[in-house]
Amino acid sequence: MRTRFVYLAVAVLHSVSLSALAAGPSARAEDEPGQQEGSATPSAARKPFDFTFYGRVNVSFDVGNQELTGAPCITAAANPCAPPQGQLRWLPDVASNLSRLGIRGHYDLNGPELQALFQLEAQVDVAATPGSKPNGNNDTINPGNTAVTSAFGTRNSYVGIGTQYGAIKIGKNDTPYKTVTADFDPLADTPADYNSIMGNTGGDNRTEFDARLPHAIWYESPSVYGFRLNALYSPGQNRFEDNIGYAIGDNTCAGGNAGPCNDGSFGDAYSLSLEWHGYGFKLIAAHEMHRKTNRTGDAGQDTGPTGISDVGTANEYAWKFGARYTFAATGTTVAGIFEKMWRNDVPNFNERQREGYYVSALQRLGANDDVMAAWAHAAATPGDPGVGPVPNAADMIGVGVRHWFNPKTTLILSYAHMSNEAGAHFALGPGGHGVTWDCKDGSGPSTASAGPGIGLIGNGTGCFTGTSPQAFSLGMTYDF
């Protein structure tokens, strides 16, 4: 990635020099290797102290349909469900898709071989109204809690030390498990974002294994013969053995929900990735573990023949292996991922253990255009806490075209379609797009509470499984 320096005069008590990093055509990774301070090769004109303002504006106009009227339960021969309510047509929206603003910098402690590093980054709600979103599980970033996603420091933020042997940082950051395959997804942040399935254990608007973990410490290695190793540890900071409370010093459950923390809250977390680049290939392996993940909110449901669901607190793990190859002569890039997520729990009620597959292709057309396609598959789980064993596999397909006006500005048109089996409820858009198309309708709230959780301010309470949501999107991105 090329680096250029642009000097700006900014009056903040006195004038200071700023430098701007050019962020050429890049994938979704939020801290790509060329952007990792402390591991990049210093330029001849480098300065012993410098900092940079940077950002991305990503906004789209979408038209999507949840296809709730096709839910199998509506026409079931025995005990059919009530039909969905609310807006059941194609619904237009304007979405801000992980737009952000940040500042990062370094200070030489002993030349470029030993530097102090920092970064502060915030999400910018370009289209939506900033604020907390206590509206159930319809928020893609912090579902059902009171976290303010657009506050400064809500995204990757840290202080650290960089050396020729790598960098050690402390703060909050995307996990190595997340970042190592970010550039495998050419349709990132569109409705066809691979997190609709990959890293998503239950098919909700959450992506448990595509996370940004707070109160973390991590190591980023330099490239050694094409190899790079990243490792992160996040202490749970929870006084409760079952992690049912907030982490000390935090205001949300570790799993992303409001309290009580019985729907995915975990304790310590570990994440590790290993990658190798060479001869047009990128090969990766990654692992992540969430200790003592509390799912007791799913317990106690009558599943019929399999009895009352028994779901407790157990470790949740994920492994993935992947490869990407670029045919330089034709401008073709292909990528594939195999993922295995599992949970140590009662099989008949375990919806968090499954395999996942992802394949993508990108074809460059001339100097300024890309054509992209992707397929993701979620294999069936051993069971479900609501009904026991049930067919709940899902497939997503996505296609798109992108035009590069210049290395900073793009226009992208995309389409995504999700096909859920009878018991599945995977959504389009979780993890990257500002709006999602999920299983929930616009029926009235089940309670009259206007507090946290689904209430009078909720976005529907009925979840219809087995649907096939789809969406079109036209978006524009601008990097600076």
Average pLDDT (91-119) is: 95
Work out the burial of residue 323: count CB atoms within 10 Å of its CB; fewer than 13 is exposed, 13-18 middle, 19 or more buried. Answer: middle
Question: Is pLDDT of 202 > 60?
Answer: yes
**Residue 148 pLDDT more than 90?**
no
Say what the pTM is.
0.86
| pLDDT score for 144 | 52
Of 344, 413, 340, nearest in space to 377 by CA: 340
CA triple 416-63-470, angle to 5 deg: 30
**pLDDT digits over 377-430, tens only?**
999 999 988 888 999 999 999 999 999 999 999 999 999 999 999 999 999 999
Q: Is the pLDDT of residue 340 over 90?
A: yes
pLDDT of 34 above 90:
no
- Say yes or no: domain 10-479 is CATH 3.30.1540.20: no
Domain limits, the chain: 10-479
Name which of 53-62, 126-135, 190-199, 425-434 the model is least confident about. Answer: 126-135
pLDDT digits (tens, 9 = 90+) for 302-331: 788 888 888 999 999 999 999 999 999 999
Beta strands (DSSP E) in 241-353 are 269-278, 281-294, 313-327, 332-343
Residue 392's closest CA among 166, 203, 153, 130?
Answer: 203
Structure tokens at 402: 């992108």
Cβ-contact 133, 142 below 8 angstroms: yes
Q: Could you tell me if 313 and 181 are in contact, meaning their C-beta atoms sit under 8 angstroms apart?
A: no
- Rounded CA-CA distance 301/310 in Å is 8
Across 375-387, b (16+ Cβ under 10 Å) vs e yields bbbbebbbbbbbb
Residue 454: per-residue pLDDT:
34
From the list 141, 171, 56, the residue with the least C-alpha distance to 431 is 141
Which amino acid is present at 115? Answer: Q
E strand or H helix at 409, and its extent? strand 409-420
What pLDDT is recorded for position 205? 82
Q: What pLDDT sits at residue 359? A: 98
Cα(first)–Cα(last) distance of the chain, in Å? 14
- 272, 220, 22, 6: which is closest to 115 by C-alpha? 220
Question: Percent of the chain beyond pLDDT 90?
Answer: 62
Beta bridge partners of 320: 286, 339
